[in-house]
Amino acid sequence: MSDRDDALRRELGWTGPVESDYEPAPAKSSSPAPVPAPSRPPVDFVPPSPEPTTHGADTGPIPSHRSAPPPANWPPQGPPQARPPVPGPPPNRPPGVPGPGQPYPAPSWPPPGHPSGRVPPPPPGSYADRIPVRDLVPVQRVPPGGGWRRLLFQASFGLINLGPSPDELRQAELEARIRGVLRGHYKIGVLGKGGVGKTTVSASVGSVFAELRQDDRVVAIDADTAFGKLGSRVDPQAVGSYWELASDQHLESFADIRSRVGNNAAGLFVLAGEGSPARRRVLDPAIYREATARLDRYFSISIVDCSSTMDSAVTQEVLRDLDALIVVSSPWVDGAAAAGQTMDWLANRGLTGLLRRTVVVLNDSDGHADKRTRGILAQQFSGQGQTVVEVPFDGNLRPGGVIAGTRVMSAQTRRRFLEIAAALAAHFPTSDDRNRERF
C-alpha cells in the first residue's frame, strides 16, 4: 500500500487491518436499500426554532441562553438524522372557526351585519294567533227571530236559514250600544212641562236600561216637588222616600238600601217623592244631595224626573250633577215652544256640553198628533244638533198605569225607547275621570 493510501485511511478514520489484496465488491442489486429507522436524538437536543410566519419580523442573533449546537461529527455513523417538521402556515378555515385545541370565541354583540345593532324581534302575534280559527271552525248563522223568515226556517227544518232581518239587526245593534262599557256613575235628567208624559218617559227609559244592563243597578228618582207620581208608575207599594233614606244611619249594604226603595218587574228601582198631602214635607237641595249621595254608592245609572219649573232650587241642584238630559215635548206647537225655552235657558247658562248630550223626545201621549207638525218640529230640533226621537201613542202606557217593563209596550214603542236609551248610552264615560262641565 502506498503512502497516499495510508494517508487517505487515516483521514477517513480507518484503523482496521491492512488488506493486501483488494478485490472490488460485487455489483449491488437494483432493489432499494431499506430506509434505516431514525435514531433517537440526544437528551440535550434542541430542535431548531420555527421560521417566523409574520412577514417583516426582526431576525436578530440567537440569544446566548440557548444550548450550544451538537458537534460536527454527530452522529458518528449512519446517514443524517431526520429533522422534525417545520410548522407551516395554518390551513385556511372559515372565519370564526377555531383551530385544533382552541376554544370557540364568545359570540359578539350586537350580531355583525345587523344595521340597528339589535336582534330582530320575532314576528308579530303568537303561534296561537296564526291559527286560522275562522277558516277551521264553521260559522253558525243566527236563525231569524220572527216573520216569514222564521216560518221558512221552521218549515225547512232548519235547512234554509236566511238569518235575521234588517229590522232585527237594527234592534240588536241598539241593544249592543245600550250594553256598552260604563265607568263610574251615569245620571240622566228628564225635563218637560206638565202633561207631556215626562214621568212616563222617565219610567220607560229606566226600564230599558234595567232590562238590558242586568249587571248594573238602575234607579229612578222622583225630584218633582209638585207631588210627583214617579213612584206610583214604577212601584205603588214603595214606602221609602228622601227623608227616610237621608236620616237612616245604618245603611251599610245594598240590602239596607233595598228596604228604602221600590222596584218593578223589569228590575228598575225607584226612590219616591212625597206623595201624601196629609204630611206635606217640602224637598230641598240639602235633602236631595244627601239622599242621592247614598244612592250613588250602589247604583250605576240614575234617571231623575225633574220638576217642570226650571227656576226651582231642587231642579237647579239636579242640573249640577247631570251627565245627559232628556227634554220631553208634545208634538204640538205649544209643547215644542216650551221645550225650546228650556233649551234656551240651558244655553244661556253655558251648559252647551249638556245640550250636546241632550235627546229631544216628541211624545204623542193622546194619539192625535199631526204627522206634518211632528216632521217640522223634529227638523227644527235636529237642526240644532240634538237627537230627536218620536214616540207614538201607546195605550199600554196610559197615565196612571204601572209600567212593569218594555214587555207591555207595542213593538214600535219599544223600538223608540231603545233608540232613546242608545242615544244616551253613546255618551257613557269610559274612564274614571269625569271632567264634564257642571252647572
pLDDT digit string (tens) for the chain, length 439 residues: 566 666 666 766 655 555 555 555 555 555 555 555 555 555 555 555 555 554 444 455 545 455 555 555 555 555 555 555 555 555 566 665 566 666 656 555 555 555 555 656 666 667 777 777 777 777 777 777 777 778 877 788 778 877 777 888 898 999 999 999 998 899 999 999 888 999 999 999 999 999 999 999 999 999 988 778 899 999 998 877 888 899 888 888 999 999 899 999 999 999 998 766 666 778 899 999 999 999 999 999 999 999 888 888 999 999 999 999 999 999 988 888 999 999 999 999 888 899 999 999 999 988 888 888 888 888 888 888 789 999 999 988 877 789 999 988 999 999 999 999 999 999 998 665 455 555 5
The pLDDT value recorded for residue 200 is 94
Report the alpha-carbon angle 33-35-39, nearest 5.
140
Amino acid at 378: A
Query: How distant is the alpha carbon of residue 283 from its chain centre?
Result: 46
Here the cell at position 63 is: 440569544
Q: What is the pTM of this model?
A: 0.67
The pLDDT value recorded for residue 195 is 84
Distance CA 163, CA 169 (A): 9
Residues 6 or more apart in contact with residue 143 via CB below 8 angstroms: 150, 153, 158, 161, 163
Q: How far is CA 418 from CA 17, 90, 173, 385, in A?
A: 141, 87, 10, 20
The tens digit of pLDDT for each residue in 216-235 reads 999 999 998 877 889 999 99
The pLDDT value recorded for residue 413 is 95
Report the alpha-carbon angle 345-332-424, nearest 5.
55
Here the cell at position 117 is: 345593532
The tens digit of pLDDT for each residue in 231-264 reads 999 999 887 788 889 988 888 899 999 989 999 9
The pLDDT value recorded for residue 189 is 97
Collapsing DSSP to helix, strand or coil, 23 comes out as coil
What domains can be seen in the chain, in order of their start residue?
A: 143-178 (no CATH), 183-425 (3.40.50.300)
Radius of gyration of the chain (CA): 53
The pLDDT value recorded for residue 113 is 52
Check: CB of residue 142 under 8 Å from CB of residue 149: no
The pLDDT value recorded for residue 30 is 53
The count of other CB atoms within 10 Å of the CB of residue 345 is: 14
The pLDDT value recorded for residue 116 is 55
3-state secondary structure 46-108: CCCCCCCCCCCCCCCCCCCCCCCCCCCCCCCCCCCCCCCCCCCCCCCCCCCCCCCCCCCCCCC
